[in-house]
Structure 1
Amino acid sequence: MKNNKSISEDYSLLDELISPFVSELMTNKEKNQQKILEICHVGKFLLFFKKQIQIDSLSEKPDFILNFNDEKIGLEHQIVIDSKLKEKEGFYENIFQKVETEIKLDENLPNFLMNCFIKPNLEYKLNQKKEIELIIKKVILEYLINNTFIENPIISKLIKMQHSKKNINVNFGAWIQKTITKEVILNAISKKESKIENYIKNGLQKQWLLLVIGSNGKSSFEMNNNINIEIESKFERIYILEDFDNILHQIK
C-alpha cells in the first residue's frame, strides 16, 4: 500500500492521531524519546486506514492498544535493523547528544544548527568515549566561535546554519541500504511471538505486529518486493512499514 495523500493532509491527520499521546511525553523529550518515535511510527501506520483505526491507549504489554470499529486490538512495534551497525551509530549519536546538552548550558553562545559529517569506517572502543567527546566538543566550539575547523580523527566536515535553538546533527555520510531477507523478518517476528499468550490472557484476543524498516542510517533495511515468505504466527496480522518511503506491506 502506498500513501498517496498530500504532505499537508498527512501532517494534519498524523497530528490528530498522535498528539493526545505525544504532548504529555514531550515534557521530558529526552527520557521519552524512544516511545515518541514508536508513536510516530504507529501514527504513520494508521494513516493507511483512513481514520478507521485509532490509538486507544499506550501500553507495554503489548506496546499499543488500538480501537478498530470499537474493537480493541493489541499492537506490537518492532524496528528492524542491523544491530551491529546500529551499535556503532548509537555510540556516536549518544556522544553528540551529550555534547549538544553541554553546549546548550552556555547561554553566551548563539543559537545554531551544526551538521557534523563523520569520517567513514571509524572504529571505537568504549573506554575512548570521554576522549572522543572532548575532541568533538572542542572541534564544534572552535568552529562555532571562530569559524575555524580543527583537523581531527572523527569529524570530516562541519556546516553551520542559523537556527532558533542550539542543535547538533550527526551525519554518517552516504550509504547503500541492505535489502531485508526472509531470515531477518522471521527472526524479528520470533522475538515478539513469545509474548502473545500473556497478552491474550489479559483479554486482547487479536494481536497485530508492526515491523518498521527503511529509517535513516546505514543500519536500516529496504524492502525486497520479490521476497517469498510463508508465515506461521499467532499474530492475526503482520505489517512491514517502510518508514522513509511511506509504504506499507501486509505479509500476513
Structure 2
Amino acid sequence: MKKLFSEEDLVKNLSLYYLNQHLKKKPMEKYHRAIDASPLHDREKYKKKAEILLLNSFMHHFPEVTFENLTCESPDFIAKFNDKKIGIELTEVINHLEMKKVESCLNKIFRQAEILLEHEDTTKYRGVYFLSFHTHLKFDTAEQQKEIISDIYKSIKKNKVFGCVKTIRKSSHRRNVFITHEYNMNLFDELCSEKILELIEKKNEKFPYYDRSVDECWLVIVSDMNSLASRYTFIQDREHLKEVESPFHKIFHLENLCGNITSIK
C-alpha cells in the first residue's frame, strides 16, 4: 500500500522551520521517530508531526518539558514538567478564514510544481522557493490550476517571474524542491482578541472530556506564521484577554516564527 505521506513530503514540510533557525532538531527527530513507531494511521502520524512542530517555539520557553505521550487525543499531548503530569491541548487560531481555502488550493498547486521539477532534475532545482502572486490569481477550474503550475514551473526553471508569479526568492536546501508563500506581512494585519476568546470558549466546552489522570491541563493557542490564513502582526485589544475564564490551568498564545509567547492565564 502506498503511503499517503512520504519522508520527502515531511522534509518539505519541515523546511521553513529549519530556515527559521528555531527548530530543536535532536528532540524533534526523537519525537518524530516515536510517532513513526506508533500504530497510528499514516495520515494521523503526519498530523501529529505537524502539531509537535508548532510546539517547537513553546519548548524554547519551557525547556524542562518532556513529552511522554505523543499520540493521545484529548488532550493532544501528555508531558512532564516540574514533576507534574501535564496535558497539553494544541489549537491553531485562524486569522483569515477566507484565505484558508485559497491557501489549501495553492499548497496542492505547489506540490504539483515540485513534482514536475524533481522529476526533471532534483539536483539542479532543489531549494526553497518563496513566491508571491498577482492579485488577479484564479484557480476555480482545472485549466486555471494547470496554467498556474506551468507559470511556477517556468519561473523557477528560468529563475525569473513569469505569468501569474509576481516575485520569486530562493534559499538553499540540500535535498528537495520546496515551494511556499513569500512572507509578506501587512503592517495593519491585526488578530482580533475576540477570535482567541471564542476559541478558548470552544475548548472550555470540551474540557470535561479530557484525560483526568493529568495534574494540570494547559491550552496552547498557536498562530502558525508560515500560514497565510493564520499569520498576523499584532493582537487587537490585547487587554481583553485578561478577562478570560477557563478551567484550563494555563493558557498561552504562541506565534511560531519568532517564538513570541503571551500568557493569558
TM-score computed with the length of structure 2 as normaliser: 0.73
Q: Displacement of 1:64 after TM fit?
A: 0.7
Q: Displacement of 1:155 after TM fit?
A: 1.8
1:98 to 84, 90, 112: 112
Q: Which residue pairs with 2:49 in the alignment?
A: 36
Please tell me whether the aligned partners of residues 77 and 209 of structure 1 are also in contact (alpha carbons under 8 angstroms).
yes
| Rg larger for | 1
Gaps of 5+ in 1: 1-8
Structure-to-structure mapping, 1:94-243, within 5 angstroms: 94-106=108-120, 110-113=124-127, 115=129, 117-124=131-138, 126=140, 128=141, 130-143=142-155, 147=158, 151-152=162-163, 154-159=164-169, 164-172=174-182, 174-176=184-186, 178-201=189-212, 203-213=213-223, 215-219=225-229, 220-224=231-235, 227-229=238-240, 230-243=243-256
Distance change (3 Å), C-alpha of 1:137 and 1:21: same
Aligned-residue CA RMSD in angstroms?
3.4
Distance change (3 Å), C-alpha of 1:249 and 1:98: same
TM-score computed with the length of structure 1 as normaliser: 0.76
Distance change (3 Å), C-alpha of 1:65 and 1:109: closer
Paired amino acid for 1:40: L
Query: What are the Cα deviations for residues 11-33 of structure 1, in whole angstroms up to 9, with x where unaligned?
Result: 5xx33443321235579xx9554
Q: Displacement of 1:108 after TM fit?
A: 8.2
Percent identity between the aligned chains?
Answer: 22
1:66 corresponds to 2:79: yes
1:47 corresponds to 2:57: no
More off after superposition, 226-235 vs 110-119: 110-119
Please tell me whether the aligned partners of residues 111 and 162 of structure 1 are also in contact (alpha carbons under 8 angstroms).
no
Please tell me whether the aligned partners of residues 112 and 164 of structure 1 are also in contact (alpha carbons under 8 angstroms).
yes
Q: Give the whole-Å Cα distance in 1 for the aligned partners of 2:33 and 2:59.
A: 18
Runs of 4+ deviating beyond 6 Å: none
Please tell me whether the aligned partners of residues 161 and 168 of structure 2 are also in contact (alpha carbons under 8 angstroms).
no
Query: What are the Cα deviations for residues 210-245 of structure 1, in whole angstroms up to 9, with x where unaligned?
Result: 011261344312343862121111111100112222
Gaps of 5+ in 2: 1-20
